[in-house]
Amino acid sequence: MINVGISGIGFMGWIHYLAYQKTPGARIKAICTRNEAKRNGDWTSIQGNFGPPGQQVDVSDWTCYSDIDDLIADESIDLIDICLPPDLHADVAKRALQAGKHVLIEKPMALTAEDCEAIVAAANENNRQALVAHVLPFFPEYAYLRNAVSSGQYGKLLGGHFNRVISDPLWLGKDFWDEQKVGGPLIDLHVHDAHLIRYLFGMPTAVNTRGRFRDAIVEYCSTLFEFEDTDLLVTSNSGVVNQQGRTFMHNFEAHFEKATMQFSYAGLNDTPEVSPCKVFDSENNVLRPELGSGDPVDSFVMEIQEVISAIESGQPSSLLSGELARDAITLCYKQAESAENGTRVTL
């Protein structure tokens, strides 16, 4: 049994809590938050864009800390689940690893590639795992895509297009646009698809990005990714638009030798619109795979199961490794550099 301490009881801390309730092999033993009401179990102030709202939680069997140093020093804890603001990820992760804990870091891993590399180094030096909670590959449609790639059932993956766009996140205030706090749309939003692209296709050799800016931060951009395999054609769009009627959308179209796979979701202010995952195969069929309940929390359960498996086996996760997450952050910064200079940038 892996004993877990959650640091940061906001929306993601709440979602991780819900996932642990459904996941055998791990149990919450401690939390850390500066909020006294949450330390006493009142999580009703938590709201998010999916899943249930926060509730009253029984914390009687947990140790509830207000200071992160106390959680790090707790010898009963095996894994610290870091759901803190992004600018705190690197420091807490490195100190936890140095104290002999495994860490699960909510994305983004850190705000710079250098900090990501320092976390990876700390994990290696202390024989612990730094896992990064990139949940997108566990969403049913994206899991179906990666399973189709690994199985080879539709032949070679030739490329694809990946979209991820939100309305201006006004509730986050100025921090969203601050490179030192959250990092803006590339680091906070597009990093999901940068991670997926890195996983599916390998590390690009170059990026060619064009973008719109808000002050010095890329607000919206389109990118062409280049690879050693010149047959691959991979593109993405991501960022923020200023109309609030569509709060969020993501979609992909993936091209295989023997099929094309397509999925789209849009969260709208009236009724969400979903185009379920479809496969158009080489025999002119339209396949509509059954992909389960669609409850987003279930994807986090699978993510936590992957964490448990990696720690128990001592083998790094191919999906949640720190190295993969570091490469995703590197890609985001190279895209920002390309957009700023208006030129192709090599990696």
CA-angle at 13, arms to 8 and 18, nearest 5°: 150
- The DSSP letter of residue 303 is H
Where do the structural domains in the chain lie, given as residue ranges?
Answer: 2-133, 136-300+328-346
pLDDT given for residue 295 in this prediction: 84
Beta bridge partners of 267: 248
Q: Does domain 136-300+328-346 have CATH number 3.30.540.10?
A: no
* H-run or E-run covering 254: strand 246-256
DSSP string covering 136-197: GGGSHHHHHHHHHHHHTTT--EEEEEEEEEEE--GGGGGGGG-TTTT-HHIIIIIHHHHHHH
- The DSSP letter of residue 112 is S
Map residue 131 onto helix, strand or coil.
strand
pLDDT surpasses 80 at 175: yes
How do residues 51-79 score in pLDDT, each as one tens digit?
Answer: 788 999 999 999 999 999 999 999 999 99
Instruction: State the pairing for strand pair 206-214/345-346.
Output: antiparallel
CB-facing half-sphere around the CA of 329: CA atoms within 13 A: 25
**Is residue 256 within 8 Å of 172, Cβ to Cβ?**
no
DSSP string covering 66-105: SSHHHHHH-TT-SEEEE-S-GGGHHHHHHHHHHTT-EEEE
pLDDT given for residue 52 in this prediction: 87
Q: Where is average pLDDT lowest: 74-78, 162-166, 171-175, 226-230?
A: 171-175
* Helix, strand, coil fractions of the chain, as percent rounded to 5: 35, 30, 35
How do residues 233-288 score in pLDDT, each as one tens digit?
Answer: 999 999 999 999 999 999 999 999 999 999 999 999 999 999 999 999 999 999 99
Helix 322-341 × helix 191-201 angle, to 10°: 110
pLDDT given for residue 301 in this prediction: 96
How do residues 184-239 score in pLDDT, each as one tens digit?
Answer: 999 999 999 999 999 999 999 999 999 999 999 999 999 999 999 999 999 999 99
pLDDT given for residue 260 in this prediction: 98
pLDDT surpasses 80 at 162: yes
pLDDT surpasses 90 at 48: no
Task: Supply the pTM of this predicted model.
Answer: 0.96
Q: Which two tokens stand for residue 80?
A: 């610290």
pLDDT surpasses 80 at 294: no
* Four-point Cα dihedral 90, 96, 101, 103, nearest 10: -20
Model confidence band, residue 50 (pLDDT cutoffs 50, 70, 90): confident
Please, what is the average pLDDT of the chain? 96
Model confidence band, residue 183 (pLDDT cutoffs 50, 70, 90): very high
- Rounded Cα–Cα distance for residues 240 and 224 (Å): 19
**Is residue 99 within 8 Å of 73, Cβ to Cβ?**
yes
pLDDT surpasses 80 at 327: yes
Q: Which two tokens stand for residue 46?
A: 């938590």
Work out the number of other CB atoms within 10 angstroms of the CB of residue 33: 22
Of 335 and 48, which is predicted with more confidence? 335
CB-facing half-sphere around the CA of 177: CA atoms within 13 A: 15
pLDDT given for residue 254 in this prediction: 98
pLDDT given for residue 296 in this prediction: 87
Q: Does domain 2-133 have CATH number 3.40.50.720?
A: yes
pLDDT given for residue 307 in this prediction: 98
| Residue 63, amino acid | T
Q: How far is CA 79 from CA 5, 96, 97, 131, 282, in A?
A: 6, 9, 9, 10, 46
Of 171 and 125, which is predicted with more confidence? 125
pLDDT given for residue 173 in this prediction: 82
